[in-house]
């Protein structure tokens, strides 16, 4: 594989060897490329609601690579941590109930595809006991193994594989992302316990935000600490891996979220499955943005106080951030790995004269097309309007590279994925990226191409042909 580095070409293998030798000594990695999107509606640092929702959903689609087999039926009683879905390829890998209660409904789609298991929760939660004597067995039997993502391709981690490292990002740089210092700053003991457990499987690497002084996570031990400074996507674990120890063909790494690491730590502290988290609910269309303490699989309707009487035609509700989150609508559920709900307006209004208007102080531009560059601290009430439709790719790769702090060529990679050219996908870095890593490229793309979709299709092809 070939890599661009300091405007020259070097063999990727040579650079990778240098990175592997030196990554343990990294202290402060400054990323000069990236983009912080100034969108309004950040969540206030307080919890406005704490709840166990009346119904929670277990959705197998949230785990890429899982071929689900149903283990329960309607009317069955389950405990928090009881198995409800198993993987047909590897029955040891299971999904467990995030709350105790009764299976209310098994939701299926076309061709009887399993979409969700709805659990009517108990007023008082009961927990299944988990034997934590062996780390891997405990993670598998608790269902928390599914919190681990394997790269390349972002699939469910294979228990039979030993990765070269387990990587965790202890900060999120995405627009309106949850502040981990607020949500998890008091759970350092659980996070440390999670590190101690995972360190028995592979070396653990934790990346911190260098701009945060006195971080609650700075004292973590048993892992290699890396500090990153820069704009989004500096908090993406894929970007961090590319600067710590790039993924070569044939290599494997595992990643998980900081919430996932805390959940694993709680398991080994208490012997119980506890996946509760503080969720940042915000966005330009959100009413009094703040945090909600809840469970993954919470129905979006539970967040109704944040969007009021708005209809589905007026607002778009996203599980995750505006760049790479998933539109779930008012009948959807909070994603398994998500700790953010974003509410934005549907951009259905047509603008008189459009981009040729001389003054557009309420529109954000990355390249000085409008006068927004004169207001660097302004936050914008952005909506879903694309202000144009897809058109041929802009050929200047530097336009996209300036918002992507990775040594790859995003346009050529996206085109290779679009063309289904496996050799070129390998050459231009398909092993290093997941779709969200190129979300900023999609945001600034004047051609309005769905770059994340192209990368996802490329990864699907690699899984089909190469895995």
Rounded CA-CA distance 333/331 in Å is 7
- Burial class of residue 230 (count of CB atoms within 10 Å of its CB; 0-12, 13-18, 19+): buried
pLDDT tens sequence for the chain (467 residues): 445 433 333 334 333 333 333 344 456 899 999 999 999 999 999 999 999 999 999 999 989 999 999 999 999 999 999 999 999 999 999 999 999 999 999 999 999 999 999 999 999 999 999 999 999 999 999 999 999 999 999 999 999 999 999 999 999 999 999 999 999 999 999 999 999 999 999 999 999 999 999 999 999 999 999 999 999 999 999 999 999 999 999 999 999 999 999 999 999 999 999 999 999 999 999 999 999 999 999 999 999 999 999 998 899 999 999 999 999 999 999 999 999 999 999 987 776 666 666 566 777 877 777 777 777 788 999 999 887 778 777 666 678 889 999 999 899 999 999 999 999 999 999 999 999 999 999 999 888 889 999 999 999 999 999 76
pLDDT of residue 24: 45
Cα distances from 263 to residues 27, 195, 267, in angstroms, run: 27, 11, 6
Whether 245 contacts 165, CB under 8 Å: yes
What does the buried/exposed string (b/e) look like for 454-466 if buried means 16 or more CB atoms within 10 Å of the residue's CB?
bbbbbbebbeeee
Instruction: Look at residue 467 in the predicted model and tell me its pLDDT.
Output: 62
pLDDT reported for residue 18: 34
* Residue 227 backbone phi and psi in degrees, to 5: -120, 130
Strand partners, 208: 227
Residue 367: predicted pLDDT: 75
Whether the bond between 152 and the residue before it is cis, its omega within 30 degrees of 0, is: yes
pTM of this structure? 0.92
Contact in structure between 278 and 182 (CB atoms under 8 Å):
yes
| The length of the chain, given as a count of residues | 467
> According to the model, what pLDDT value does residue 14 have?
33
Residues of the chain within CATH 3.40.50 domain(s) are: 24-33+144-270
> Tokens 């063909």 appear where?
249
What CATH number matches the domain at 24-33+144-270, 3.30.870, 3.40.50, 3.30.1690, 3.40.720? 3.40.50
DSSP code of residue 351: P
Residue 413: closest CA among 459, 448, 446: 459
Where in the sequence of the chain do the CATH 2.40.50 domains occur?
A: 54-129
Residue 390, pLDDT score = 80
Q: What's the pLDDT at 352?
A: 65
Top CATH class of 54-129 equals mainly beta
């Amino acid at each position: 594989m070939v890599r661009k580095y300091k405007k020259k070409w070097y063999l990727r293998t040579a650079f990778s060897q240098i990175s592997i030798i030196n990554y343990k000594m990294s202290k402060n990695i400054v990323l000069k490329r990236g983009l912080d999107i100034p969108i309004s509606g950040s969540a206030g640092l307080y919890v406005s609601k704490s709840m166990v929702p009346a119904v929670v959903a277990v959705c197998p689609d949230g785990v890429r690579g899982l071929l689900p087999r149903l283990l329960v039926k309607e009317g069955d009683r389950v405990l928090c941590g009881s198995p409800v879905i198993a993987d047909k390829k590897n029955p040891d890998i299971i999904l467990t109930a995030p709350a105790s209660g009764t299976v209310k409904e098994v939701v299926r789609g076309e061709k009887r595809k399993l979409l969700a298991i709805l659990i009517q929760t108990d007023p008082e939660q009961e927990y299944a006991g988990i034997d934590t004597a062996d780390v891997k067995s405990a993670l598998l039997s608790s269902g928390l193994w599914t919190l681990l993502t394997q790269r390349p391709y972002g699939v469910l981690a294979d228990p039979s594989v030993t990765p070269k490292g387990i990587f965790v990002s202890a900060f999120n740089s995405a627009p309106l992302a949850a502040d981990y210092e607020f949500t998890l700053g008091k759970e350092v003991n659980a996070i440390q316990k999670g590190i101690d457990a995972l360190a028995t499987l592979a070396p653990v690497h934790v990346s911190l935000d260098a701009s945060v002084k006195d971080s609650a996570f700075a004292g973590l031990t048993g892992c290699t600490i890396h500090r990153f400074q820069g704009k989004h996507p500096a908090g993406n674990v894929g970007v961090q891996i590319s600067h710590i120890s790039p993924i070569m063909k044939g290599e494997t790494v595992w990643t998980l979220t900081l919430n996932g690491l805390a959940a694993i730590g709680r398991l080994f502290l208490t012997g119980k499955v506890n996946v509760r988290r503080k969720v940042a609910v915000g966005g330009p269309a959100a009413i009094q943005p703040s945090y909600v303490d809840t469970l993954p699989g919470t129905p979006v309707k539970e967040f109704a106080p944040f969007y009021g009487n708005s209809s589905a035609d007026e607002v778009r509700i996203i599980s995750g951030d505006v760049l790479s989150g998933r539109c779930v609508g008012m009948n959807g559920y909070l994603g398994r790995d998500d700790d953010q709900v974003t509410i934005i307006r549907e951009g259905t209004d047509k603008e008189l004269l459009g981009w040729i208007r001389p003054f557009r102080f309420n529109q954000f531009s990355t390249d000085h097309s409008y006068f927004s560059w004169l207001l660097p601290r302004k936050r914008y009430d952005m909506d879903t309007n694309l202000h144009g439709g897809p058109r041929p790719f802009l050929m200047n790769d530097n336009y996209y590279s300036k918002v992507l702090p990775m040594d790859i060529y995003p346009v050529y990679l996206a085109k290779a994925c679009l063309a289904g050219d496996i050799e070129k996908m390998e050459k231009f870095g398909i092993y290093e990226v997941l779709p969200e890593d190129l979300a900023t490229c999609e945001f600034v793309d004047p051609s309005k191409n769905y770059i994340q979709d192209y990368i996802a299709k490329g990864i699907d092809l690699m899984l089909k042909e190469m895995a």
